[in-house]
Structure 1
Amino acid sequence: MSTFDNRERAEENRFAHDQELAFKARVKRARLLAAWAGPQIGRTDIAAYGDELIDADMKEPGDEDIIARLLADFAAANVETSRHVVEIQLQRLGEEAKAAVLAQG
């Protein structure tokens, strides 16, 4: 195998690893969001709510799907919040999730 082939394989492996870490961070973020939002909207089944948020987050690329779901859940529970508050929590908990995933290796 040539040096070029070895480099190409290493890049592919690194890309796959990075994608796996990004996925794990998104899942962790959804669970953290469930722990944050769940009690505010009257959800006691935080693990199940986390699974629902993971499903919502995986529907489309980007964050719009999970933001829309959270805003709808707050509205359905008659709890006032703003898109800005949800986006701030999404950012903060996303950073926390990334750090946790990277710490796990």
Structure 2
Amino acid sequence: MTTFDKREEGFERKFALDEEQKFKAEARRNRLLGLWVAEKLGLSGDAASAYAKEVIAAEFEEAGDAEVVRKVSRDLAAKGAAITEAQIRVKMDELMAQAAAQVKAGT
């Protein structure tokens, strides 16, 4: 194996690790968002955990944040909560930083 091959293999491993951590951080962010929204909806305990799982699953319906934002926006609107999409996206950014730190720390 040449030095170039070893470097390429190293870059590929780093890319795969980065993508895995990004995936884990996004899933954790969605869970945290789900718990935050559940609180706004008056849910607690098992109901809040179940709702958080629904939010995580929403991202798998359509890649990216759009479906997650739509889901929580609809749910909040149905309960009469006055939280805008912009506020949801700001919260998602805050939670992404928190989730990324947790994933990096291994917690």
TM-score (norm 2): 0.89
**5 Å matches for 1:1-105?**
1-44=1-44, 45-104=47-106
Q: CA deviation at 1:47?
A: 1.7
How far off its partner does 1:33 sit? Answer: 0.5
CA distance in 2, matches of 1:61, 1:35: 21
**Displacement of 1:59 after TM fit?**
2.4
Q: Provide the alpha-carbon RMSD of the alignment.
A: 1.4
1:58 aligns to what SS in structure 2? helix
How far is the alpha carbon of 1:42 from its aligned partner? 2.7
1:100 to partner: Cα distance: 0.9
Q: Take 2:5 and 2:48, find their aligned partners in 1: how far apart are those partners?
A: 47
SS of match in other structure, 1:79: coil
Gaps of 5+ in 2: none
8 Å CA contact 1:33–1:93 kept in 2: the answer is yes
Quote the Cα distance in structure 1 between the aligned partners of 2:53 and 2:88. 18
Residue deviations 1:27-64, cap 9 Å, x none?
11011101111021133312211111111122223211
- Structure-1 separation of matches of 2:10 and 2:61: 30
Structure 1 residue ranges without an equivalent (≥5)? none
With normalisation by structure 1, the TM-score equals 0.91
